[in-house]
Chains A and B, each alone.
Chain A
Amino acid sequence: MKFGIVTFPGSNCDYDAFHAVTDVLGEEATYLWHKDHDLQGADVIILPGGFSYGDYLRAGAIARFSPIMQEVVSHAKSGGPVLGICNGFQIACEAGLLPGALMRNSHLQFVSAEVRIRVENADTMFTNLYERGEILRIPIAHGDGRYVASADVLDELEAEGRVIFRYADASGNISADANPNGSERNIAGIVSESGNVLGMMPHPERACSPLLGSSDGVRLLESILTKVAA
């Protein structure tokens, strides 16, 4: 399986994603430059974290007009897996691949910390190797991670099982204290209507080795392998 990792000017988690895919999963990966028009045969696209275009205007607002994003949108529309992490989540929302938006953290501070997220739906392309209710330890590092959408959209996401990760405490309780950025309903990750686009603020690619404090992110990537290979 081939992963394409998009590098925008200002991306800074593309190398982390490359390491996770090649060294941890043992799969093939290639960097896709934002000016390219070709996904180079990649089966799975990763929109990595960082500060594409300096977060000018709004996080992700300019990146979505990159030439490569037109190809990523076509890939997503034809059912290809797309994983938007952190800035990648912001870009996916701006590009209309996912509903809602990411706003400034409610406490106005940048947060770099390990958080816990609860798996809300283990029947997706990205979570099929987890169990529902499982608590994962995954790091976050963002200043604009507060997920916002209209009440109608939030209700629809919940009803369709598209909220797949929620910020929780160690016992799995969904509380305001466990919410690191003020996201509506503690939402940490959602999938698109057709289930092939995932957006999440936490960084699974940085939780792929005991050396880094957690390996809980590995199964997310492995889930994609089992689903796409199947």
Chain B
Amino acid sequence: MAQFRIAVHITPRKGLLDPQGNAVKGALHTLGFEPVKDVHVGRYIVIETDAYDAIAAEEAVTDMCRKLLANPVTEDFEIESAVHA
């Protein structure tokens, strides 16, 4: 077993209203960042876990996302490659 660190990005499902993202976009436009087309506000979660290897760690975290970390109705998730912690 070795220890791995995996980062998870969770964002509102595309197509669903994202009022937080819209509010941030409005503020960015006010600040003069007019070219900003869209903003999505989500969550960033870092998991440190023991696993046999990087693939096993990534599989475990994918399972965690499906079961708890992301809501399958409203959110999408992406996991980064596992790195040795």
Partners in one complex: yes
Measuring CB to CB, which residues of chain A are less than 8 angstroms from any residue of chain B?
57-58, 61, 65, 93-94, 99-101, 103-108, 146, 148-150, 182
A106–B19 contact, CB under 8 A? Answer: yes
Q: In whole angstroms, what is the CA distance A58 to B12 when docked?
A: 12
Identify A105's interface contact among B19, B43, B68, CB under 8 A.
B19
A104–B20 contact, CB under 8 A? Answer: yes
0/1 interface trace, chain B 48-76, chain A, CB 8 Å (1 if under): 00000000000000000000110101100
Interface size on B, residues (CB 8 A): 12
B19–A148 contact, CB under 8 A? Answer: no
A61–B71 contact, CB under 8 A? Answer: yes
Identify A148's interface contact among B16, B20, B68, CB under 8 A.
B16
Chain B positions within 8 Å of A100 at CB level: 73
A180 to chain B, nearest CB (A): 14
Q: In whole angstroms, what is the CA distance A11 to B73 when docked?
A: 24
Chain A positions within 8 Å of B19 at CB level: 104-108, 182
**15 A-B contacts (beta carbon < 8 Å):** A57-B68, A61-B71, A93-B73, A99-B73, A100-B73, A101-B71, A101-B73, A103-B16, A103-B17, A103-B74, A107-B19, A108-B19, A146-B17, A148-B73, A149-B73
Chain B positions within 8 Å of A148 at CB level: 16, 73-74
A99 to chain B, nearest CB (A): 8
B73 to chain A, nearest CB (A): 4
A106–B71 contact, CB under 8 A? Answer: no
Residues 4 to 60 of chain B near chain A (Cβ within 8 Å) = 12, 16-17, 19-20, 23, 43
B61 to chain A, nearest CB (A): 15
Identify A182's interface contact among B17, B69, B73, CB under 8 A.
B17
Q: In whole angstroms, what is the CA distance A149 to B74 when docked?
A: 8
Q: In whole angstroms, what is the CA distance A61 to B73 when docked?
A: 13
Q: In whole angstroms, what is the CA distance A217 to B77 when docked?
A: 40
- Chain B residue nearest to A60 in the complex (CB): B71
- Chain B residue nearest to A58 in the complex (CB): B71
Q: In whole angstroms, what is the CA distance A99 to B69 when docked?
A: 18
- Chain B residue nearest to A64 in the complex (CB): B68
Chain B positions within 8 Å of A104 at CB level: 19-20
B42 to chain A, nearest CB (A): 11
- Chain B residue nearest to A146 in the complex (CB): B17
B10 to chain A, nearest CB (A): 9
B25 to chain A, nearest CB (A): 13
B17–A106 contact, CB under 8 A? Answer: yes
B17 to chain A, nearest CB (A): 6
Given contacts A57-B43, A148-B73, 15 further A-B contacts (CB under 8 A): A58-B71, A61-B71, A65-B68, A99-B73, A100-B73, A101-B71, A103-B12, A104-B19, A104-B20, A108-B19, A148-B16, A148-B74, A150-B73, A182-B17, A182-B19
Q: In whole angstroms, what is the CA distance A105 to B17 when docked?
A: 10
A157 to chain B, nearest CB (A): 13
